[in-house]
Amino acid sequence: MSTNSGKLYVVATPIGNLADFSARGIAVLTQVDLIAAEDTRHVRMLLSHYGISNKLFSLHQYNEQKASAALLEKLRQGLSIALVSDAGTPLLSDPGMPLVKMAREAGIEVSPVPGACALIAALSVAGLPVSRFLFEGFLPRTGAARRAFFQERRDWRLTWVFYESSHRILAAIEDLAEVLPVQRGIVIARELTKVHETIVKDSLENVLTLLRQDENMRRGEFVVIVSAAQPEKNEAVISAEQKKLLTILLRECSTRTAAALAAEITGARKKDLYQAALALRKDR
């Protein structure tokens, strides 16, 4: 490590409730020579809340390589720099990775100032096993890509987590219900630490109904947690679309024929569809 170099602090900021900012976060943002921020207007609000005035440098996804190179030069000259994003922990679905990588490669000290992170906050209240989980960040934006993404993860035996915005939350959960068994447990954590914080843990089917019925539930920022696949004996592992098709076929055909036709149409396993058809007949 070069002794005259500065130090890079990676500082987590609140994800909603400003009171969540740590004492060390405030001290570091006050003392560093420069704050590298995703949106300088946004960070100014945080700084003014805490009475901090300091120099800002813009580092966002569109200027990241160039800005990181410039910041690296300043670190080499001995300046200390704090990296912050708009909310939560930098680098987690946020800019910062190139700067941290460059600083490490240059032998510059990089130190975390930990704090809020939406995915960790959501996992901490989900009541699901979290000793192993997979964080996926933001989902693909188009329906087809999203469904393919869900299909790949459908049978994975670990909790998985993704971020979603108000614009796409309904479409994302609708796609999830097309691909995963609708009985699968999910958690949606909305507006964490803010006035309208809502955490719902229910079956995919019930969460979808709630989102469709309640416009307010579609507002704000979301973390979605999908429970691990745990196929039980004789559990009919079918999607909402497959269930709809089976229900229609069962009006006209025997259980066996309905399952065979649904398997041919959807490509799903006949055995699963047969189990589901039996359960549907029983429910009538």
Report if residue 126 touches ligand SAM, rule: CB under 6 A.
no
| Residue in the shown chain whose Cβ atom is closest to ligand SAM | 88
Of 14 and 181, nearer to ligand SAM (C-beta) is 14
> Whose Cβ is closer to ligand SAM: residue 15's or residue 225's?
15
Q: Which of 71, 72, 99, 118 binds ligand SAM (CB under 6 A)?
A: 118
- For every residue of 149-174, DSSP letters joined together read HHHHHTT-SSEEEEEEETTTHHHHHH
**128, 14, 1: which is closest to 76 by C-alpha?**
1
**Which residue, 242, 223, 224, 225, is CA-closest to 181?**
242
For residue 90, give Cα distances in angstroms to 11, 130, 194, 282: 7, 22, 20, 52
**From the list 88, 95, 96, 185, which residue makes contact with ligand SAM (rule: CB under 6 A)?**
88
Interface with ligand SAM in residues 1-20 (CB under 6 A): 15-16
Buried b (16+ CB within 10 A) or exposed e, 65-97: eebbeebbebbbeebbbbbbbbbbbbbbbbbbe
Task: Give the Å distances, CA to CA, from 135 to 43, 107, 125, 139, 273.
Answer: 26, 29, 16, 11, 31
By CB under 6 A, residue 95 contacts ligand SAM: no
Shortest CA distance to 176 belongs to which of 209, 147, 148, 156?
A: 147
Interaction between residue 160 and ligand SAM (CB under 6 A): no
Among 161, 172, 207, 223, binds ligand SAM (CB under 6 A): 223
- Using CB under 6 A as the binding rule, whether residue 247 contacts ligand SAM is answered as no
For ligand SAM, which stretch binds (CB under 6 A), given 115-123, 209-217, 228-236, 242-250?
115-123
In the complex with ligand SAM, the residue whose CB is nearer, 199 or 279, is 199
Question: Residue 183: helix, strand or coil by DSSP?
Answer: coil
CA-to-CA separations, 155 to 180, 237, 252, 264, in angstroms, rounded: 9, 10, 31, 21
Helices and strands (H and E) in the chain: how many: 11, 10
Bridge partner residues of 187 (DSSP) = 201, 225
Interface with ligand SAM includes 136 (CB under 6 A)?
Answer: no
Interface with ligand SAM (CB under 6 A), residue total 23
CB of 162 to ligand SAM, least distance (A): 8
Taking the complex as a whole, how short is the minimal distance between the CB of residue 227 and ligand SAM, in angstroms?
18
> Among residues 90 and 181, whose Cβ is nearest to ligand SAM?
90
Of the pair 10, 262, the CB lying nearest ligand SAM is at 10
**Does residue 89 belong to the site contacting ligand SAM (CB under 6 A)?**
yes
Q: Dig out the tokens for 181 from the structure.
A: 């068994």
d(CA 256, CA 240): 19
* 217: contact with ligand SAM by CB under 6 A: no
Pick the binder of ligand SAM from 164, 175, 178, 272 (CB under 6 A). Answer: 164
119 in helix, strand or coil? helix
CB of 76 to ligand SAM, least distance (A): 27
Residues of this chain that interact with ligand SAM (CB under 6 A) are 15-16, 85, 87-89, 92-94, 117-119, 163-165, 189, 191-194, 221-223
